[in-house]
Amino acid sequence: MPINTPTLRQQFPITETWNYLNHATHGPFSIGTATAIADLAHAWTQPADLDHSGNDKTVDAVRQMIAGMVNGRPENMAFTGSLAESMSLAAAGIDWNDGDNCVIPEQEFPSVVYPFLNLEHRGVSVRFAPKGADGFTSLDEIRAVTDQRTRAIVVSHVEFMSGFRNDLSALAQLAHDLDAVLIVDVTQSLGPCEIDVQASGVDVIAAHSYKWLMASYGVGVTHLSDRAIERIHPTYAGRLSVDLGFEDLGYELRWRKGAARYQAGGLNWITLAGLQASLDVITSMSPADIAEHTVRLTDRFLDGVEQQGLEIRSSRDPKHRSAIVAFTTGSEQADADLVKKLDAQKISVVQRGLGIRVSPYFYNTEDEIDQLLDALQS
Ligand SMILES: Cc1ncc(COP(=O)(O)O)c(C=O)c1O
């Protein structure tokens, strides 16, 4: 079903001031999100009047909504503080043996890589899968660096610079054939792309909430398959990890069922309240409709970029497309100058390693893409 952009735009004040094509950097708040956060922040001035059971209700609601978006299960969801923390708990919790390895494509986002480099003292090495001649890491390039000691394959679903979308089903198959786990950063895809944790077989997905989930910092959403929960031992532990109440000082370390065991202490209720309001908007559309909309906009943009003789730095293969595309003038300095010029015209994009990154979302329009193309032309 086509997305009703005019109605959606009314909920996003950013649309009154900016042509905002930068969701891979920061997701703007809707009016509902800003209100939910402000209301809760205000309510905290009077904690004695606050209904603290609202915390659990918010957590449950967000769990349900995220699980629904990815065809997962609410009881397999855990909240952390960031993508780096979700990756760290997955990395540290695997029962590694000296000499094991994990495989990660080159040029991955740092929070994907460091948690695994941090396993060196446990005898675990990181093997980087190289980019091919086309600038992207194919399944074959990943397969080529695996071996019988590979215990994890770690990727971003959508790469942060080029927007290259990895094939999760094929990667899960590869990982499972090796009896390894597939751990995926979905920070750049949860919201704008379709994800099905059951159909794809992916073991762990995790995302920070301040980009496409349009909430704030401080909440990492994580979904672990039953297979992953069996294999990943909790690294952090605290009052929320166990079945006992915090007044029970028997200290029986009895893990909670499902993924709740990975949550250690009090969760970021304020960001979760904002996230709940954001998800009300995001889940009012189907993931397929959002994906179709953003790919249509980025296709229109890439066609225009090509006509202007600029270089595209993203894959145009439909299997690898996402809501992120990148292009370059060919010069880093000219790219930087161009971003500044666009900024002065209230068009928000960003320079990232490969060139200039453009990342529209569900409320952006073809007119906004054309405005960007006109600005590039001039
Ligand atoms: C692919 C990707 N993952 C994760 C993050 C955020 O990571 P963290 O939650 O560790 O701050 C970003 C931010 O740019 C990103 O692009």
- Listed residue (325, 324, 328, 373) closest to 347, CA to CA: 373
For tokens 């609202």, what's the residue? 54
Question: Which residue ranges have their beta carbon within 6 Å of ligand 1?
Answer: 82-84, 109, 111, 156, 160, 185, 187-188, 208
Q: Are 238 and 244 in contact (CB under 8 A)?
A: no
Token pair 């270089």: residue: 311
Instruction: Report the alpha-carbon distance of residue 316 to residue 248 in Å, rounded.
Output: 57
85 Cα nearest atom in ligand 1: 10
Closest CA to 357 of 26, 15, 128: 26
DSSP 217: S
Nearest-CA residue for ligand 1 atom 8 is 83
Predicted structure pTM score? 0.97
CA distance 281 to 276: 9
CA of 85 to the centre of ligand 1 (A): 11
Give the containing element (helix H, strand E) for 77.
strand 77-80
Nearest CA to ligand 1 atom 7: 83
Q: How far is CA 333 from CA 329, 339, 345, in A?
A: 9, 10, 19
Best mutation site among 80, 188, 209 for ligand 1, i.e. most ligand atoms within 8 A of its Cβ? 188
pLDDT in tens, the chain (378 residues): 889 999 999 999 999 999 999 999 999 999 999 999 999 999 999 999 999 998 999 999 999 999 999 999 999 999 999 999 999 999 999 999 999 999 999 999 999 999 999 999 999 999 999 999 999 999 999 999 999 999 999 999 999 999 999 999 999 999 999 999 999 999 999 999 999 999 999 999 999 999 999 999 999 999 999 999 999 999 999 999 998 887 888 899 999 999 999 999 999 999 999 999 999 999 999 999 999 999 999 999 999 999 999 999 999 999 999 999 999 999 999 999 999 999 999 999 999 987 999 999 999 999 999 999 999 998
> What H or E segment, with its residue span, contains residue 151?
strand 150-156
CA 26 to chain centre: 12
Beta bridge partners of 316: none
Q: Are 347 and 21 in contact (CB under 8 A)?
A: yes
- Mutation to probe ligand 1, out of 83, 113, 357 (largest number of atoms < 8 A from CB): 83
Q: Tell me the domains of the chain and their CATH numbers.
A: 5-21+286-377 (3.90.1150.10), 38-282 (3.40.640.10)
Rounded distance, CA 115 to CA 183, Å? 12
Number of the ligand 1 atom closest to the C-alpha atom of 84? 10
Give the Å distance between the CA of 109 and the centre of ligand 1. 7
